Amino acid sequence: MSHQEDGVHCIACGKDQFSLAHDEWMRRAFPFVEQGQLKMCAGCGAKYLVCDGCGGLYCRIHPALESWELSDKCPKCGYVNEAVKVWDGTSARHF
Confidence check: pLDDT of 95 > 50 = no
Q: What is the pLDDT of residues 1-35, one digit of tens each?
A: 568 899 999 999 999 999 999 999 999 999 999 98
CA dist., res. 81 & res. 13, Å (int) = 25
Q: What is the pLDDT of residues 49-83, one digit of tens each?
A: 999 999 999 999 999 999 999 998 999 999 999 99
pLDDT value at residue 4: 85
Confidence check: pLDDT of 91 > 80 = no
pLDDT value at residue 90: 75
What pLDDT band is residue 92 in, cutting at 50, 70 and 90? low
Scored b (16 or more CB within 10 A) or e, 27-54 reads eebbebbeebebbbbeeeebbbbbbbbe
Residues 18 and 42: beta-carbon distance below 8 Å: yes
Q: Give the angle subtended at the CA of 74 by the CAs of 73 and 78, to the nearest 5°.
A: 75
DSSP state of 65: -
CA 4 from centre of chain? 14
